[in-house]
Amino acid sequence: MDKPSYLNFDKSKYHWRPDVDYRAHPEAYRVGKGEQGVLICEPYKGELVPHWRFKTPEIARASSEAIYEMFLAYLGQGDFVGADMARKFLQMGFTRARRYANYKGGRKYDPGDKHQLEQGTGDPVKAECARIFYEAWRRAEAKPAYAKQKAAWKQDRG
């Protein structure tokens, strides 16, 4: 039986901390894998969460455009942490919308015994929402300025 990775999660080894202001202390930020830290890193989380929505394709389009514009603004200010956080929110828009497209109610695991639920029971409208976020995420990843800043950050800080 496949168990979710969060069941054996070790908080002491997690790089991101909710008590750190990552704008004031960008040196504490790590790029990590995928969406790691996205719902912890303040003040960016607080700036991005109000724009992150994917209930309908129209809402997803407005949301992804707003977050992408924030990504560009952070990038233009030389704020790599903000740009990376915005990129993570675009990625998370894709992955969460896909989860709702694949699983009824977005639940991948049974809350009782933690077994994986049947795929293909979700909302097909969310597949379009996922596609919208995917395109914005890929556009952000493809920005040469972002790729350059990310490579330098990872080399210098991890």
Statement: residue 141 has pLDDT above 80: yes
Alpha carbons 81 and 109: distance in angstroms, whole number? 32
Q: What percent of the chain has pLDDT over 70?
A: 89
Q: How confident is the model at residue 119, as a pLDDT?
A: 73
Q: Mean pLDDT over residues 34-58, rounded? A: 92
Q: What is the pLDDT of residues 18-30, one digit of tens each?
A: 889 999 999 989 8
Q: Mean pLDDT over residues 59-72, rounded? A: 98
Q: Mean pLDDT over residues 55-81, rounded? A: 97
Helix (H) or strand (E) holding 97: helix 80-102
Contacts 24+ apart (CB under 8 A), 69-72: 71/140, 71/146
Amino acid found at 141: E
Statement: residue 93 has pLDDT above 80: yes
Q: How confident is the model at residue 69, as a pLDDT?
A: 98
Q: What one-character-per-residue DSSP string does 25-57 give?
A: -GGG----STTTTTTT-BTHHHHHGGG---SSH
140: Cβ–Cβ under 8 A, 6 or more apart, which residues? 68, 71, 83, 86, 87, 90, 146
Domains of the chain, by residue range, sit at 36-156
Q: Mean pLDDT over residues 97-122, rounded? A: 77
Question: What is this structure's pTM?
Answer: 0.85
